[in-house]
């Protein structure tokens, strides 16, 4: 996407938008942002998909050539640009990119030139839709100024703030190429699925990190063959409260040699990971398509070992951040006598 389109989407002038980027230029590598050549600019100016190009300065004396932002560059913009409008537009862009990727993945191998043209047209329509959202938001803001404080507060509750960390590492790796070893878990084979998790956990020699917001007693049961002394840390917000303190006590009573610590994710991790021997030379990281408690319950699921060093660094940064979070309080933990 070009700088003047993004500037319009985010409510900036082109010069002000590029100035914001320039202040954070160290975040935008060559594969995030690049400047068009004069020849590319001239070709672009006659494209049927560029709307009113003259009004954006390509014809009529724009002193500097436009900057083009790759998908990774657009995601990085979401961590740089601030304000309510930037939040709304970032949400819209994330959804649009996700839908486009899902479409391409679902139709890979069958895609034709006509399909490519359709995607191109859809991209243009999406850009126009975002512009319409921009206009609607501006109109809403004008109306809000005419209402009392109660309406303003209600509007602020509706417009939740999106944290930079909401950008899942998996989203950030859309363009990454990595070799991965697949563990396929097939529907209808619960034993095989459980054995896969148990086998992975058994390979740890020092520590196991489990990142999963949806846990229950089965999450713990799959740890039964962990080597004695291996420390287990579960990063989870225990959404829906399926794991209770009594479940934890029962497991520790049966397997006292497997110490388990629970730490909250604080909402910064939405994907599921298993990390064996964190920060050791033989460290291994697995990305899980579903929670271990759902092994063999949902349709075909895959556990993929991550081999990309860049992605491992990103996971490390997030883990180091989560290690500072408060411990997870399990339901009934404050009433331990019930267990």
Show the domain range for 249.
181-338
Residue 260: the pLDDT is: 96
259 vs 104, higher pLDDT: 259
One domain for residues 222 and 147: no
158 vs 303, higher pLDDT: 303
175 within domain boundaries: no
One domain for residues 261 and 325: yes
One domain for residues 192 and 147: no
Highest mean pLDDT among 143-157, 250-264, 324-338: 250-264
How many domains are contained in the chain? Answer: 2
One domain for residues 146 and 222: no
Mean predicted confidence (pLDDT) in 233-248: 92
Residue ending a domain, among 166, 195, 226, is: 166
CATH number at residue 213: 3.30.870.10
174 vs 150, higher pLDDT: 150
* pLDDT level of residue 109 (50, 70, 90 thresholds): low
Asked whether residue 150 carries a pLDDT value surpassing 70, the answer given is: no
One domain for residues 29 and 162: yes
Residue 310: the pLDDT is: 84
| pLDDT tens for each residue of 30-47 | 889 998 888 887 777 665
Tokens of 279: 């920060």
One domain for residues 58 and 158: yes
Residue ending a domain, among 166, 200, 232, is: 166
> Which three-class secondary structure string do you get for the chain?
CEHHHHHHHHCCCHHHHHHHHHHCHHHCCCCCEEECCHHHHHHHHCCCCCCCHHHHCCCCCCCCCCEEECHHHHHHHHHHCCCHHHHHHHHHHHHHHHHHHHHHHHCCCCCCHHHHHHHHHHHHHHHHHHHHHHHHHHHHHHHHCCCCHHHHHHHHHHCCCCCHHHCCHHHHCCCCCCCCEEEEECCCCHHHHHHHHHHHHHCCCCEEEEECCCCCHHHHHCCCCCCCCCEEEEECCCHHHCCCHHHHHHHHHHCCCCCEEEECCCCCCCCEEEEECCCCCCCEEEEECCCHHHCCCCCCEEEEEECCHHHHHHHHHHHHHHCCCCECCCCCHHHHHHC
| pLDDT tens for each residue of 178-235 | 433 444 443 444 446 778 888 899 999 999 999 999 999 999 999 999 999 999 999 9
Residue ending a domain, among 166, 192, 226, is: 166
Determine what percent of the chain is predicted with pLDDT higher than 90. Answer: 27
pTM of the model: 0.47
Q: How far is CA 25 from CA 60, 73, 76, 199, 300, in A?
A: 27, 11, 11, 45, 42
One domain for residues 258 and 128: no
Residue 192: Cβ within 10 Å count: 14
One domain for residues 309 and 280: yes
One domain for residues 186 and 155: no
173 within domain boundaries: no
176 within domain boundaries: no
Asked whether residue 149 carries a pLDDT value surpassing 60, the answer given is: no
Mean predicted confidence (pLDDT) in 71-97: 79
* pLDDT level of residue 276 (50, 70, 90 thresholds): very high
Asked whether residue 101 carries a pLDDT value surpassing 50, the answer given is: yes
Sheet holding 181-185: strands in order across?
181-185, 301-306, 284-288, 272-276, 207-211, 231-235, 260-263
248 within domain boundaries: yes
Mean predicted confidence (pLDDT) in 117-121: 68
């Amino acid at each position: 996407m070009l700088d003047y389109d993004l500037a319009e989407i985010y409510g900036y002038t082109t010069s002000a938008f590029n100035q914001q980027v320039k202040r954070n230029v160290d975040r935008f590598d060559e594969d995030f942002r690049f400047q068009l050549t004069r020849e590319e600019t001239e070709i672009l100016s006659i494209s049927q998909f560029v709307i009113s190009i003259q009004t954006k300065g390509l014809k009529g004396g724009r002193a500097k050539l436009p900057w083009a932002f790759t998908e990774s560059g657009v995601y990085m913009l979401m961590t740089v640009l601030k304000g309510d409008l930037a939040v709304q537009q970032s949400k819209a862009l994330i959804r649009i990119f996700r839908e486009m990727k899902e479409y391409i993945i679902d139709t890979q191998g069958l895609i034709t030139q006509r399909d490519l043209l359709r995607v191109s047209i859809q991209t243009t329509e999406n850009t126009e839709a975002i512009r319409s959202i921009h206009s609607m938001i501006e109109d809403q803001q004008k109306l809000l100024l005419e209402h009392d404080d109660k309406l303003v507060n209600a509007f602020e509750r509706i417009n939740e703030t999106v944290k930079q960390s909401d950008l899942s590492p998996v989203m950030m790796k859309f363009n990454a190429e990595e070799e991965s070893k697949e563990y396929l878990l097939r529907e209808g084979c619960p034993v095989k699925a459980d054995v896969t998790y148990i086998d992975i956990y058994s390979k740890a020699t020092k520590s196991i990190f489990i990142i999963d917001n949806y846990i229950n007693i089965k999450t713990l049961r799959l740890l039964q063959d962990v080597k004695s002394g291996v420390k287990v840390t579960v990063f989870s917000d225990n959404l829906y409260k399926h794991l209770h303190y009594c479940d934890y006590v029962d497991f520790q009573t049966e397997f006292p040699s497997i110490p388990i610590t629970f730490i909250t994710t604080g909402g910064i991790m939405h994907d599921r990971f298993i990390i064996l021997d964190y920060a050791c030379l033989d460290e291994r990281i697995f990305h899980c398509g579903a929670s271990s408690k759902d092994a063999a319950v949902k349709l075909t699921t895959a556990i993929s070992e991550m081999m990309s060093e860049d992605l491992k660094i990103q996971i490390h940064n997030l883990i180091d951040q989560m290690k500072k979070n408060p411990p997870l309080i399990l339901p009934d933990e404050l009433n331990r006598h019930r267990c």
